[in-house]
Amino acid sequence: MGNNCSMDKKKERIEEIARQVCQDLDLALYDLDLKSAHKGTIVLIYITKINGVSVGDCQQVSRTVGAILEEEDLIAGRYFLEVSSPGLERELKRKKHYVSAINELLKLTYHELDKNMTVTGTLLEVMEDSILLEVDEQPVEISFNDIRKARTYFDFKKVKKQG
C-alpha cells in the first residue's frame, strides 16, 4: 500500500508541474495519467487550448515538464513522456471536461429505470449535479451520478453535408 500512496503523491506533483507549465504557455491541462509498463513509467499529458493545440505546443510542454521531472528526479527508473491533445473524440471524466465541451456533440451512456441508455446530443449546460443535453431537439437533464460513459462525438456526415 505504501507504494500506491507515493504513486498518488507523484501523480499529484507531476499534475502540479504540468498545470503550471501549461498556464505559462497559455494552455490548459486537460488530463494526466501515469501508467506502468515493462519498459518503465509512461506519463501521459493531455493539453487543450481554444482553437486547438499545435505540435509545437506539445513539444514545448514535453521539453519543459521533462526538464523539471529530471531536475526533481520524481520518477525512479526509465519513464516516457507523451504530450498530446485529447483529440476530436475524447472521454469526459471530470466536471471540468464537461464544461470544456459545452455546445459540442456528446455520445453518452447513462442509467435510467434499471437499464443503460445511449444517446447522442448537444451539451447545452453543466449544472451543479447534472448536465442539460439536447437530444432530438428536446432538452434532457441527466444527473452526473447516472452517467456511465461520456465522450465528445464527431459527426463526419454533418461535416460532409456542410462542405
Q: Are 65 and 16 in contact (CB under 8 A)?
A: no
pLDDT in tens, 49-66: 877 788 899 999 999 999
9: left (phi over 0), alpha (psi -120 to 50) or beta: alpha
Q: Which of the four CATH numbers 2.30.30.520, 3.40.630.30, 2.60.40.1930, 3.30.420.40 does domain 95-162 have?
A: 2.30.30.520
pLDDT in tens, 60-115: 999 999 999 999 988 888 899 999 888 778 889 889 889 888 888 899 999 988 89
Q: Is the pLDDT of residue 2 over 60?
A: no
CA angle 120, 121, 122 (to 5 degrees): 145
Q: Which CATH class is domain 2-84?
A: alpha beta
Q: Is the pLDDT of residue 1 over 50?
A: no
C-alpha cell at 69: 521531472
Give the dihedral sign, CA 51/83/149/141: negative
Gap between the Cα atoms of 14 and 120, Å rounded: 35
Percentage of the chain beyond pLDDT 70 is 92
Q: How large is the C-alpha radius of gyration of the chain?
A: 18
- Structural domain spans, the chain: 2-84, 95-162
